[in-house]
Structure 1
Amino acid sequence: MRMYLGSINDQVWEVTENDYAIIDPNNPSNQDKTNKQCNTMALNTIYNAIDSKVFEQIKDCERANEVWTRLEETYDGTPEVKSVKLYILKDKLTSFKMKDDESILEMFHRLQVIVNDLKALEEEIKNDDVSH
Structure 2
Amino acid sequence: MATNNALFFEGQSVTRPLMFNGANFISWRDKMKIFLQSIDIDLWYIVNEGPFEASIIDDHTNRRREKTRNELTPQDKANLTLNAKAMNVLYNALDANESTRVKGCSSAKEIWDKLKEIHEGSDDIREQKK
* TM-score class normalised by the smaller sequence: 0.5 to 0.7
Match of 2:111 in 1: 67
Unaligned 5+ residue runs, structure 1? 1-5, 87-122, 124-132
Specify which of 50, 53, 58 is matched with residue 21 of structure 1.
Answer: 53
Q: 2 CA distance for matches of 1:8 and 1:54?
A: 23
More helix by share: 1
RMSD, matched Cα: 2.1
TM-score normalised by the chain length of structure 2? 0.54
> Number of residues paired by the alignment?
81
Structure 1 stretches of at least 4 aligned residues deviating more than 6 Å after TM superposition: none
- In the TM superposition, residue 43 of structure 1 has moved relative to its aligned partner by 0.9
Following the alignment from structure 1 to structure 2, what is the Cα–Cα distance between the partners of residues 73 and 59?
A: 15
Residue 33 (1) aligns with residue 64 (2)? no
1:36 Cα deviation (Å)?
Answer: 2.0
1:81-108: per-residue Cα shift (whole Å, max 9, x none)? 1244x2xxxxxxxxxxxxxxxxxxxxxx
Q: Is the 2:49–2:109 Cα contact (8 Å) retained in structure 1?
A: yes
Q: TM-score normalised to the size of structure 1?
A: 0.53
Larger radius of gyration: 1
Matched, 1:44 2:88: yes
Q: Distance in 1 between matches of 2:127 and 2:39?
A: 35
Secondary structure, aligned partner of 1:69: helix
Amino acid at match of 2:40: N
SS in 1 for 2:118: helix
Work out which structure has the larger RCO, using CA pairs closer than 8 Å and 6 or more positions apart in sequence.
2
Give unmatched runs, 5+ long, in structure 2. Answer: 1-36, 56-66
Is it true that 1:11 corresponds to 2:55 in the alignment?
no
CA separation in 2, counterparts of 1:48 and 1:8? Answer: 14
**Cα distance in 2 between the residues matched to 1:74 and 1:34:** 31
